[in-house]
Amino acid sequence: MRKHCLAPHHVEADTLKVVEIDQPLRRVSGLGLLSSAVALGFVLAHNADDRNVLLNFFINLSNAIAAMGRLLSWFLPVGLASLTATRVLAVASTVRSAHSLSLLLTYSLNVVVAVLVHTFVVLPLIQWVMVQHWKRGLLRFFGQVQCIRPSPVPTAGAQQSFSASRAPDCKP
């Protein structure tokens, strides 16, 4: 790594800050890029065609990225579960006492219970409230529609007057 001193001209020598500049390619996963390129190559080779090479390249590239996205969406839960299990096991291996392990298990149990309550209580309750609100508005609309009857006499401009179109038993 290279170290650079960033100092304005008016700053004294004892207050200089040393900033480490890391190479940006060190943070890129080489194995991820390689596997993505190999998968892209396989899909493009499978979809190859001789006509309209450039157009077909971009169409096949779009199809390949969509296929890789669908494949990734199937394996994503397994990857997330393994990453979570790795972190939990790393924390559990550093825990020395039984009390700390019991706190970790209690926290994990609380998270699972909170997710279950949110999934099976909060979300259905929100859905029920929204459906009840929508249903009331829909029933009110149908009640208004039943009170309207067609007028036998067309008015000027082919519009019906409000009083002629309302049934006498409907209240405004």
- The string of pLDDT tens digits covering residues 44-101 is 677 666 556 667 778 888 888 899 889 888 888 888 888 888 887 777 666 666 667 7
- Predicted local confidence at residue 38, as pLDDT: 84
Fill in the DSSP letter of residue 92: H
Token pair belonging to 97 = 């006492």
Residues 6+ apart with CB under 8 A from 151: 160, 161, 164, 165
Beta-strand relationship, 2-6 and 17-21:
antiparallel
Residues 6+ apart with CB under 8 A from 2: 20, 21
d(C-alpha 27, C-alpha 33), whole Å: 12
Q: In this structure, which long-range contacts are made by residues 92-98, counting pairs with CB atoms below 8 Å and at least 24 apart in sequence?
A: none
d(C-alpha 137, C-alpha 145), whole Å: 12
What are 18's strand-pairing partners? Answer: 5
Alpha helices, DSSP H, located in 49-170: 53-94, 98-117, 123-147, 162-165
Rounded to two decimals, what is the model's pTM? 0.32
Give ∠ CA 96-113-104 in degrees, rounded to 5: 5
pLDDT tens-digit map of 127-165: 888 887 776 666 665 655 555 555 454 444 444 445 555
Choose between 24 and 159: higher pLDDT: 24
